[in-house]
Amino acid sequence: MDEIAGVLLSCGIKTVVIKNGKNGCFIKTKENVYTIPTYNKARRVDTIGAGDILLRALSAPYWTEHV
């Protein structure tokens, strides 16, 4: 994931977020790398839409400033 994120960053993307299912997600910028684990104590009933919620949560600060 680090190599893929590096390629995307070299194309001008400022922040790369790669969802990794039950393993959480990987976030990389030019300055930092983060691996965010899932919250394993939650009882998962239906994960449909979880990626959509993650995208909205991560992008909310951007849209607050630019819309």
Mean pLDDT by 10 residues, the chain (67 residues): 95 93 90 90 77 86 83
**What's the first-to-final CA gap in the chain, in angstroms?**
31
Q: How many CB atoms lie within 10 A of CB 12?
A: 6
The H-assigned helical ranges of the chain are 2-10, 50-66
Extract the tokens encoding 40: 């394993």
Radius of gyration of the chain, Cα coordinates, nearest whole angstrom: 13
Sign, CA torsion 61/21/30/15: negative
